[in-house]
Structure 1
């Protein structure tokens, strides 16, 4: 599969580094690119062409009034997983945009949250071969007990960048 964009090339290079430092390097890259996620402390555990796995520790700065990860921080975690994965496939001359998110909060979470987003072959082909379009990505978010406290679906779109006149 070709390296379609700068992000893809950087992640591919990071994934050749020793295993012990990959997550740290991916998190550094992500936090510098998406400042809000970096501020919240979203950690990238793994990222490749098919799957993104991100984690958010239950720390004071992301907690709600009952001591669990805040609803907005939970939404950010899912957005980050789906958006980072989409970003692996959107060409550099396109702009990825979050179109919508549907999140149902089912129960209180316990401890850290982990989000896993995946793309199948048809979705990847659609992203790579469409000038503009959209894709729906379900993100599995689990707490440290393995319970899925939310159901989350993110719809991402991409459009061509507007070229400035020369």
Structure 2
């Protein structure tokens, strides 16, 4: 379980540090957008009150607290799952990434009332209208790792 907690800690720290740097230090919340390596990588400020791609955004405190509770419930369920089924090391790291990402977005919802999304990537003439953050990447990668990495074989 140490691997899970370390991965969660470092993921959460990276997520929050990047948000502080981009949103506050570079003042993206006021500027709205900063071209970094156009068109491939840009910072575009987006406050996500829902889940991925703004789904279930209700702009209400009830929605916000339901999403916080859901993220905490999912994080607790993942901890229990990896404790019970014990995936291989990559699965443990994936679980930690998922938990750290979920907690990073929970912190945003508590502090700002919404998740701070700022990464925007486009390519090949296709303009991506969506923004995301480090926590979103970690949640996605962690979930993929948990699905693809089998549990350790238990001795008889």
Q: Normalising by structure 1, what TM-score?
A: 0.27
Bigger proportion of residues as strand? 1
Larger Rg: 2
